[in-house]
Chain A
């Protein structure tokens, strides 16, 4: 039988160490909504999402109350809209209209984000996919809750450099369109390599075409819990350090598994995966950078950071896979800058640079995330940063992503405030040398040799 110490431990994790279920994300396929009539298409999308998700928030709150565990976000992901709108959309306004429908239904059912304003173009772009990508700045500036992602490369296909070039331009344009709000549009836009079909976390969530009609994916988090557990093993060797992270990740993931199964049962939607990521928030004590410091670094970014992050990411996965039969999504440690107070402190102290962050993305679960850069950064430079990050993903057979915000009207030394979970960030310097000729070549980078496994 459960004893008092175990109950106290669980409740301390929840109350003092910010253990929470970060998101229940309902994936909804929109493939059966496809229609050549734009008006009809929008109606079908609205109705399908509304009917599938109308109880999502209520069920999330019920589970949260019964188990005493906060479930911070309830979200929706849909099939990439470039596929759904390809028969009906002839202009960027047509595509942006679908984004507005998604925004409307998201508000109606009470979810805080809806992901899937996406295109998967890792090898080539159809005219509709290119049109969707060109509509992203308009879509993000005329909606509040819609998130967009574009997959421009994979280990199997190589990197679509035309799409990389275009995304550099679109990120700049999205920043311009939303410059009144510190270029907030870019905080809802991710460029991926090897994007997973079942990621429940925003801004990169979409419902892959390989998925069922509806699916429940759950993202757990708890950097504060890992940090507190590590405080108890200060000075111990790596074996004990790793064992502690693994045990903690197991406990955290089990909670996610429980919530996922309950949500699946009550919504009568199959359970997909648990994503066992350490996702920080700007709240004090909810930081991945603080874990790195606890492992033994003065600041995130100090020599040793990549190794510390590598072991953290690996142990989180090892503990998590034992706790759930189906793990997926991104699963590992996120290293966003603006959403993590410890990362922000490291940037302000001069310990953490864009180049070090790039190195860290080789061993973490995602990529360059929520990084504010000067608003006058050239589109080709942004494309160059994206290409570097995509190459890391392609060669290492892992997901990598870029969510970078050129803040129009601001430069290095200034700060940008996004608010809420998105936090605030000091603007980081970017290498000023040109990569114009590289980015402007056009075409695609071939798939690496280790992709030929057939």
Chain B
């Protein structure tokens, strides 16, 4: 399993999760966990996904999601889990 963290931040609008999830499904990325809140109109989502079966390169996934985010009007970041794990766990 290769865990990746996807974060989506921006102004709330219809279909953010749908669009992101459709893209992930098309690229064989399995969603393990989603948490989402809306604070004063701002959408804030974190997903933990498994990219083990993905056919794309990780860098391309990051580029595609960034572009998709620009299309919807939100910021999407996609980072391998280790950076958070290393920083916050001993």
Evaluate contact between B85 and A2: CB separation under 8 angstroms: yes
Q: How far is the CA of A65 from the CA of B62 in the complex (A)?
A: 7
Evaluate contact between A69 and B83: CB separation under 8 angstroms: yes
Which bucket holds chain B's interface residue count? 20 to 34
Beyond A2-B81, A8-B7: 8 further Cβ-contacts under 8 Å? Answer: A7-B5, A9-B88, A11-B7, A67-B82, A68-B77, A255-B87, A258-B83, A258-B86
**C-beta contact mask, B32-75 vs A, less than 8 Å → 1, else 0?**
01010000000010101000000000110011000000000000
Evaluate contact between B35 and A4: CB separation under 8 angstroms: yes
The total of Cβ contacts below 8 Å across the A-B interface reads 58
Evaluate contact between A68 and B35: CB separation under 8 angstroms: no
**C-beta contact mask, A227-271 vs B, less than 8 Å → 1, else 0?**
000000000000000000000000100110110000000000000
Q: How far is the CA of A258 from the CA of B88 in the complex (A)?
A: 13
Q: How far is the CA of A291 from the CA of B63 in the complex (A)?
A: 35
Chain A residues with Cβ under 8 A from B29's Cβ? none
Chain B: minimal CB distance from A183 (Å):
41
Chain A: minimal CB distance from B61 (Å):
9
The chain A residues found within 8 Å of chain B, CB to CB, are: 1-2, 4, 6-11, 62, 65-69, 251, 254-255, 257-258
Chain A residues with Cβ under 8 A from B30's Cβ? none
Evaluate contact between B85 and A62: CB separation under 8 angstroms: no
Evaluate contact between A66 and B7: CB separation under 8 angstroms: no
Chain A: minimal CB distance from B23 (Å):
17
Chain A: minimal CB distance from B59 (Å):
4
Evaluate contact between B87 and A66: CB separation under 8 angstroms: no
Evaluate contact between B88 and A6: CB separation under 8 angstroms: yes
Q: Given A1-B33, A68-B77: A10 and B62 within 8 A (CB)?
A: no
Chain A: minimal CB distance from B87 (Å):
5
Name the residue of chain B whose CB is nearest to the CB of A2.
Answer: B84
Chain A residues with Cβ under 8 A from B77's Cβ? 11, 68
> Residue B62 contacts which of A68, A254, A258 (CB distance < 8 angstroms)?
A68
Chain A residues with Cβ under 8 A from B48's Cβ? 1-2
Chain B: minimal CB distance from A251 (Å):
5
Chain A: minimal CB distance from B48 (Å):
7
Chain B residues with Cβ under 8 A from A4's Cβ? 35, 44, 46
> Residue B84 contacts which of A6, A62, A66, A257 (CB distance < 8 angstroms)?
A6
Evaluate contact between B80 and A66: CB separation under 8 angstroms: yes
> Residue A68 contacts which of B44, B78, B85, B88 (CB distance < 8 angstroms)?
B78
Q: How far is the CA of A29 from the CA of B6 in the complex (A)?
A: 41
Q: How far is the CA of A67 from the CA of B2 in the complex (A)?
A: 13
Q: How far is the CA of A333 from the CA of B61 in the complex (A)?
A: 37
Evaluate contact between B86 and A255: CB separation under 8 angstroms: yes
> Residue B83 contacts which of A1, A8, A10, A62 (CB distance < 8 angstroms)?
A10
Evaluate contact between B59 and A10: CB separation under 8 angstroms: no
Chain B residues with Cβ under 8 A from A255's Cβ? 83, 86-87
A-B contact pairs, 7 of them (CB 8 A): A8-B7, A66-B79, A68-B78, A69-B79, A69-B83, A255-B86, A258-B82
> Residue A66 contacts which of B46, B59, B88 (CB distance < 8 angstroms)?
B59
Chain B residues with Cβ under 8 A from A10's Cβ? 83-84, 87-88
Chain B residues with Cβ under 8 A from A257's Cβ? 86
Q: How far is the CA of A66 from the CA of B77 in the complex (A)?
A: 10
Q: How far is the CA of A235 from the CA of B19 in the complex (A)?
A: 47
Chain B residues with Cβ under 8 A from A251's Cβ? 87-88
- 7 residue pairs, one from A and one from B, having the closest CB atoms: A68-B79, A254-B86, A65-B59, A67-B83, A6-B88, A2-B84, A258-B86
Name the residue of chain B whose CB is nearest to the CB of A62.
Answer: B59
Chain B residues with Cβ under 8 A from A2's Cβ? 5, 48, 81, 84-85, 88
Q: How far is the CA of A251 from the CA of B90 in the complex (A)?
A: 10
Name the residue of chain A whose CB is nearest to the CB of B45.
Answer: A4
Chain A residues with Cβ under 8 A from B59's Cβ? 62, 65-66
Chain B: minimal CB distance from A2 (Å):
5
Name the residue of chain A whose CB is nearest to the CB of B66.
Answer: A65
Q: How far is the CA of A69 from the CA of B35 in the complex (A)?
A: 23
Evaluate contact between A254 and B79: CB separation under 8 angstroms: no
Q: How far is the CA of A378 from the CA of B83 in the complex (A)?
A: 50
Chain B residues with Cβ under 8 A from A69's Cβ? 79, 83
Q: How far is the CA of A381 from the CA of B12 in the complex (A)?
A: 64
Q: How far is the CA of A8 from the CA of B45 in the complex (A)?
A: 10
